[in-house]
Amino acid sequence: MNPVDPVDEEAARLYRAKVWGGADRTLWRTQVDGTVGARLRELADWTESSGHGEGPLDIYGDGLVEELERRVAEELGLPAAVFFPTGTMAQQVALRCWAGRTGSPVVALHPLAHPEVHESGAFGAVSGLRTVHPTDAPRLPTAEEVRDHPEPFGTLMLELPLRDAGFVLPSWEELTAVVEAARERDAVVHFDGARLWECTTHFGRTLAEIAGLADSVYLSFYKSLGGHSGAVLAGPEDVMAEARVWRHRYGGQVFQQYPAALSALRGLEEELPRLPSYVAHARVVADAVREALAEADTGWFRVHPETPHTHQFQVWLPYDAERLTAASLAQTEATGTLLFRRWFTPGAGGPPAPGVAVTELTVAGPGLEWTAEDVKAAVREFLSRLG
């Protein structure tokens, strides 16, 4: 089998981005939809209307960056917050700080957690940390699994929601029990909360109540809030002071970050209050997708979770991923409607599953206009392109 020509793959990626980015109707817009000029004009317009237009530029993390840090700390009810250019760096620093305090370089986390699947072994290669897995089930560990894990660990890291398992969350009771089990082992608790912003509906708790369970929390600004880039780490004053030192050592003390900081502030103001409505409508969309697939008699399929825990969920179909991606692309080209984006062959953490493909659906502002019948019609149209 010949390897894929990287030039051809890049051309295909750019073409998909052009077609899907230009869709007339979609459930959500990604951070790579649109053009450079359009994105900059949108941010400039908000900057002027919000009163930030005449403010000074930031230098090495002051000004707008400090304003963003204060705003997030208040939102989470935590003493301090530190802005980072990437979430990978933020979590490297957080867990390195905790390892120094606990005396243990061992981090307990799920094998599907982002650092294990998407960061090329960064914990071990860069920070000298080692990981253990209380469970490999497609969910977060239970209190019993944390309490009974045979190997000592200094930090328990919980990804909320666990993206690669289907954006799944435990119940509030399960989460509090897991945290308590870690405390019984004298371990600290760190939340990988890249998407924590959208978890309040499922838990029925405020962001401050959720964040208050952990010793530290990381959140992303582009995954839920529509920011250009950037992340934040929040927790105790002394740990955050050390985190600032390590941020500099890791190369994260960027000279100016005002576009990222402004887009994050815009997300806090505009997107954060809307997230509960996105989560509620994701449940309408998931039900409609399921009903349409059942009515079409496609055979085996899966909408996971059946009731989405956040505004994102998975759809599984018994077809080759390339065939499904081609159908998604053809649907948008012909109708201007974008339902599904790219499909993938599952297999994170294990062998691939040929003949089965999975995609992720997100419901955001544009998706609120879709009725259940709109979703069903789009599913039927998509399926008609599979032959």
Q: DSSP string of 298-309?
A: -SS-EEESSS-S
User: What's residue 210's pLDDT?
Assistant: 98
Helix (H) or strand (E) holding 355: none
Within 13 Å and on the Cβ side, how many CA atoms surround 188? 24
pLDDT at residue 5 in the model: 63
Q: Tell me the CA distances in angstroms from 385 to 26, 329, 330, 331, one per residue in order.
A: 18, 10, 8, 8
Query: Terminus-to-terminus CA distance in the chain, angstroms?
Result: 26
Cα–Cα separations (whole angstroms), residue 174 to 91, 140, 146, 166, 306: 24, 10, 12, 18, 19
Residue 1: per-residue pLDDT: 42
Which residue ranges in the chain fall short of pLDDT 70?
1-7, 348-354
In this prediction, residue 71 carries a pLDDT of: 97
The position carrying tokens 């002051």 is 62
- Per residue in 240-256, pLDDT tens? 999 999 999 999 999 99
- Structure pTM? 0.93
- Closest by alpha carbon to 217, among 199, 198, 200, 236? 236
- Helix 372-384 / helix 275-295 crossing angle, nearest 10 deg: 50
How far, CA to CA in Å, does 150 sit from each of 39, 185, 190, 219, 220?
Answer: 50, 11, 20, 30, 32
- Give residue 149's identity as a one-letter amino acid code: H
Tokens of 153: 């660990």
Q: Burial of 308 by CB count in 10 Å (0-12 exposed, 13-18 middle, 19+ buried)?
A: buried
Q: Which residues contact 369 (CB under 8 A, 6 or more apart)?
A: 25
